[in-house]
Structure 1
Amino acid sequence: MKITDIEVIPIFPRLASRYAERRVDLYGIDCRVVYKVHTDAGITGYGDMRVRPYAKPSRDAVAQFVGLSPFDFINDHRSAVPSGLLCALYDAMGKHLDLPVHKLLGQKKRNAIAVAAWTRPASPEIFRDEIKRAAAEGYRVFKIHTCTYHDVFEQTRLATEVAPESFRIHYDFNHNRSLGSALPIIAELERNFPIVGYIEDPFDKSDIDGWKRLRQQTSLPLIMHGTPLGGVQELIYGLADMYMIGGTLEDTMAAGWACGRANVQVLLQFEGGTLGKAMAMHMASVLPTHTAHSINLDDQYAEDYTTETIPVVDGASPVPNGPGLGFAVDEDALARLASQSLVERPTHVGVLQMPGGNTYYGPSYISPTNITGHQEGVDRGFRSSIWEDDGSAEFAKVHDRVKKEGVFRAD
Structure 2
Amino acid sequence: DPSHMAEAVKQYSRRGYTWLKYHLSPFENVFDQLEAMQKVAPPGFKVQFDVTMGGTDDHTPDLLIRMARFPICGAFEDPKLEKDIDAYKELRNRVRVPILYHHTPLGATFEVVRRAADGYMMGHAKIGTAIRKAGLFGELDLPFMLQNVGGEITRTMTAHMHAAFKTATWHTHCDAETWRDDVVTRRIDPINGLIPVPEKPGLGVSIDREQLERLKKQKLPKQAKWIIKTTYKNGTRMYNIANPDESIFMVRPDRRKLLPFSYDAPLSSEWWDDDGSMKYREMFARITKQGVVLVKPGAKD
Shared fold (TM-score greater than 0.5)?
yes
Aligned to 1:162: 40
Q: Contact conserved, 1:178 with 1:203, CA < 8 A, in 2? A: no
CA distance in 2, matches of 1:198, 1:214: 12
Query: Is 1:388 equivalent to 2:265 in the alignment?
Result: no
Q: 2:203 aligns with which of 299, 304, 325?
A: 325
Letter in 2 for 1:383: S
In the TM superposition, residue 359 of structure 1 has moved relative to its aligned partner by: 1.0
Query: Is 1:373 equivalent to 2:263 in the alignment?
Result: no
Query: Is 1:407 equivalent to 2:292 in the alignment?
Result: yes
CA distance in 1, matches of 2:133, 2:30: 31
For residues 191-230 of structure 1, the aligned pairs below 5 Å read 191=69, 193-230=70-107
* Runs of 5+ consecutive residues of structure 2 not aligned to the other structure: 243-248
Q: Contact conserved, 1:226 with 1:243, CA < 8 A, in 2? A: no
User: Alignment partner of 2:150: what SS?
Assistant: coil
Q: Structure 1 339/401 Cα, relative in aligned 2: closer, same or farther at 3 Å?
A: same
User: Alignment partner of 1:363: what SS?
Assistant: strand
Q: Structure 1 326/386 Cα, relative in aligned 2: closer, same or farther at 3 Å?
A: same
Moved over 4 A (4+): 177-180, 365-372
Aligned to 1:290: 168
In the TM superposition, residue 179 of structure 1 has moved relative to its aligned partner by: 11
Q: Structure 1 153/368 Cα, relative in aligned 2: closer, same or farther at 3 Å?
A: farther
Q: Contact conserved, 1:352 with 1:368, CA < 8 A, in 2? A: no
In the TM superposition, residue 274 of structure 1 has moved relative to its aligned partner by: 0.7
In the TM superposition, residue 148 of structure 1 has moved relative to its aligned partner by: 2.3
Aligned to 1:188: 66
Letter in 2 for 1:139: Y
Q: Contact conserved, 1:177 with 1:202, CA < 8 A, in 2? A: no
CA distance in 1, matches of 2:56, 2:91: 10
CA distance in 2, matches of 1:373, 1:180: 10
Letter in 1 for 2:93: Q
In the TM superposition, residue 347 of structure 1 has moved relative to its aligned partner by: 4.8
Q: 1:233 aligns with which of 90, 110, 121?
A: 110
1:146-192 CA distances to partner (integer Å, 9 max, x unpaired)?
1222211111111011110110010011112599711001111122x
TM superposition score normalised by structure 2: 0.87
Number of aligned residue pairs: give it: 286
Q: Structure 1 180/134 Cα, relative in aligned 2: closer, same or farther at 3 Å?
A: closer
Q: Structure 1 353/394 Cα, relative in aligned 2: closer, same or farther at 3 Å?
A: same
Q: Contact conserved, 1:201 with 1:223, CA < 8 A, in 2? A: yes
In the TM superposition, residue 219 of structure 1 has moved relative to its aligned partner by: 1.4
In the TM superposition, residue 236 of structure 1 has moved relative to its aligned partner by: 2.0
Q: Structure 1 287/178 Cα, relative in aligned 2: closer, same or farther at 3 Å?
A: farther
CA distance in 2, matches of 1:265, 1:253: 14
Letter in 1 for 2:129: D
Q: 1:342 aligns with which of 205, 209, 220?
A: 220
Aligned to 2:120: 243
Computed over aligned residues only, the root mean square deviation of the Cα atoms, in angstroms, reads 2.3
Query: Is 1:354 equivalent to 2:232 in the alignment?
Result: yes
1:67-119 CA distances to partner (integer Å, 9 max, x unpaired)?
xxxxxxxxxxxxxxxxxxxxxxxxxxxxxxxxxxxxxxxxxxxxxxxxxxxxx
CA distance in 2, matches of 1:148, 1:285: 37
CA distance in 2, matches of 1:271, 1:293: 13
* Runs of 5+ consecutive residues of structure 1 not aligned to the other structure: 1-122
1:296-320 CA distances to partner (integer Å, 9 max, x unpaired)?
1111111111111133111111111
1:250-304 CA distances to partner (integer Å, 9 max, x unpaired)?
2211111211121110111111111011110111110001111010111111111
Letter in 1 for 2:268: R
Q: Structure 1 173/262 Cα, relative in aligned 2: closer, same or farther at 3 Å?
A: same
Q: Structure 1 333/180 Cα, relative in aligned 2: closer, same or farther at 3 Å?
A: closer
Aligned to 1:87: none
For residues 63-78 of structure 1, the aligned pairs below 5 Å read none
In the TM superposition, residue 198 of structure 1 has moved relative to its aligned partner by: 0.5
Q: 2:142 aligns with which of 254, 264, 277?
A: 264
For residues 80-119 of structure 1, the aligned pairs below 5 Å read none
Q: Contact conserved, 2:56 with 2:260, CA < 8 A, in 1? A: no
Query: Is 1:152 equivalent to 2:30 in the alignment?
Result: yes
Letter in 1 for 2:86: D
Q: Which structure would you say has the larger Rg?
A: 1
The share of aligned pairs that are identical, in percent, is 29
Q: Contact conserved, 1:198 with 1:220, CA < 8 A, in 2? A: yes
Judge which range, 174-183 or 216-225, deviates more: 174-183
Q: Structure 1 387/178 Cα, relative in aligned 2: closer, same or farther at 3 Å?
A: closer
Aligned to 1:34: none
CA distance in 1, matches of 2:17, 2:221: 27
Q: Structure 1 205/179 Cα, relative in aligned 2: closer, same or farther at 3 Å?
A: farther
Q: Structure 1 149/333 Cα, relative in aligned 2: closer, same or farther at 3 Å?
A: same
CA distance in 2, matches of 1:267, 1:245: 6
Letter in 2 for 1:267: M
CA distance in 2, matches of 1:229, 1:347: 36
CA distance in 2, matches of 1:335, 1:283: 28
CA distance in 2, matches of 1:173, 1:363: 22
